[in-house]
Amino acid sequence: MSKENYIDKETFTEKKSMELSEDSPECLRKIFTIKLFDVIGIFFTIPFGILSLINGHYMLSMALLLLGAILVLNYYVVSKKAYYKLGANIIVYLFLLLFLYLVYSGGVANTGSLWIYAFPALALFLHGFKKGLIDISIFVLILSVMFFGVDSSFLEASYSNEYKLRLIFSFLVVTFLSSLYEYSNNKTFDEMNILTEKLINIAKQDQLTELANRRGIHEEMESLYKHAKDNNEDLCVMLCDINFLHDINISYGHEVGDLVIKKVASEIQNSTQNLHTVDRWSGEEFLILLPQTKLKDAHKFAAALEKRIENLNIMYDRKHIQVTVSTGLADVDKVNSIYSAVRHADNEMYQVKKATS
């Protein structure tokens, strides 16, 4: 486990992007949102399409009914998780075309242009901040060309220049406010997730030694054990316990006891040279996983580690504090789970401690 609890935003964004699987909470949230927009769109387009047909607005009715039919189809397409991005694109770009058509035709009683204010929220919500702004920019560009880049007779509806300018400016104001909200919402969401990641890391890390704690090591234990079994590789488990730490705490105080724990933890890490996994298993106990290591080599490693710790130069109040450790080892080939290996190593370590007491 890393010693560093800090997670920067760039790292988190990359991680979030990689983890956006079809069953991830973020993906499921997006699918729910897209289907919700589908339902809202269906109840908006089909009734208005029928009403337009009744009132003799045949082109508008055909457009609305066609859009409604596509949204019904899209609802079922999005139900297949692999197509949720396609579903979002269908909604955004269909409504982009619909709103442009409403501006072009005027809709009912020349009020069609009023619906365009829904587009910023739609684009930003479904496509995210950056892509949503690109969609809105494209929409404003096309709208500007329709209003000022072609002959006014091109439009079926009639608008004054003042209305056109005010419509675009007010649309930009709505875009600004929607973008501000979306940006703030995304920033808050990312900060909360970064904080959650940090808290998870803290929960899995021993704060005194900065090693993984028992909660943090379980996943790696299972992974190494499975890899060793699947590939017929050696894997040894080693427990290392500081002898007489209670006496050190009584004689010198818990602050010195903590110093001893930190020094021993550091020496174990240095000895493993990042080739093995080390964690603080309990108060004065450390667990070391030794992949691709035969039991006889693990015993050599344990003996060398015991010697290094015995030679540690720990001073307090001009007094040298002698520290020794007891170790126990187990080979996973002789057990049916990684936790059985830990129990075997613990029993062996207990016997060694009993002999030195």
pLDDT digits (tens, 9 = 90+) for 325-337: 999 999 988 777 8
**Domain final residue, candidates 201, 228, 260:** 201
- List the CATH number of the domain containing 301: 3.30.70.270
Query: Do the domain assignments include residue 325?
Result: yes
Residue 19: predicted pLDDT: 46
Residue 261 and residue 330 in one domain: yes
Q: Domain count of the chain? A: 2
Residue 1, in any domain of the structure = no
130 occurs within a structural domain: yes
Q: State residue 154's pLDDT score.
A: 84
pLDDT at residue 24 in the model: 64
User: 28 and 175: one domain?
Assistant: yes
Determine the pLDDT at residue 21: 55
The pLDDT assigned to 9 comes to: 47
- Please tell me whether residues 174 and 232 are part of one structural domain: no
For residue 180, what pLDDT is reported?
93
Q: Do 325 and 344 fall into the same domain? A: yes
Q: Which of 300, 307, 313 is nearest to 325 (CA)?
A: 307
- Are 41 and 147 contained in the same domain? yes
Last residue of a domain, one of 201, 224, 259: 201
Q: In this structure, is residue 207 part of a structural domain? A: no
In a domain, 4, yes or no: no
Please tell me whether residues 143 and 251 are part of one structural domain.
no
Give the residues of the chain that fall short of pLDDT 50.
1-19
Q: Quick one: pLDDT at residue 14?
A: 46
Q: Would residue 110 count as lying in a domain?
A: yes
Distances (CA, A) of 265 to 33, 166, 259, 334: 49, 69, 10, 28
105 found inside a domain: yes
178 and 253 part of one domain: no
pLDDT digits (tens, 9 = 90+) for 56-83: 888 888 888 988 898 888 888 877 766 7
What residues contact 353, with CB distance under 8 A and at least 6 apart? 241, 243, 326
Domain end point (choices 151, 181, 201) = 201
Beta-strand ranges (E) seen in the chain are: 212-213, 235-242, 277-280, 285-291, 315-316, 319-320, 325-331
For 65, 66, 266, the CA distances from 72, given in Å and listed in that order, are 11, 10, 62
In angstroms, rounded to a whole number, what is the distance separating the alpha carbons of residues 168 and 82?
37
138 and 244, same structural domain? Answer: no
> Is residue 297 within 8 Å of 310, Cβ to Cβ?
no
Are 300 and 330 spatial neighbours (Cβ–Cβ below 8 Å)?
no
Are 34 and 54 in the same domain?
Answer: yes
**Residue 206 domain-assigned?**
no
Domain match, 45 and 96 both: yes
Q: Which domain holds residue 118?
A: 9-201
233 plus 276 within the same structural domain: yes
- 191 and 217 in a single domain? The answer is no
- For residue 112, give Cα distances in angstroms to 91, 93, 158: 18, 17, 12
Q: What pLDDT does 23 receive? A: 61
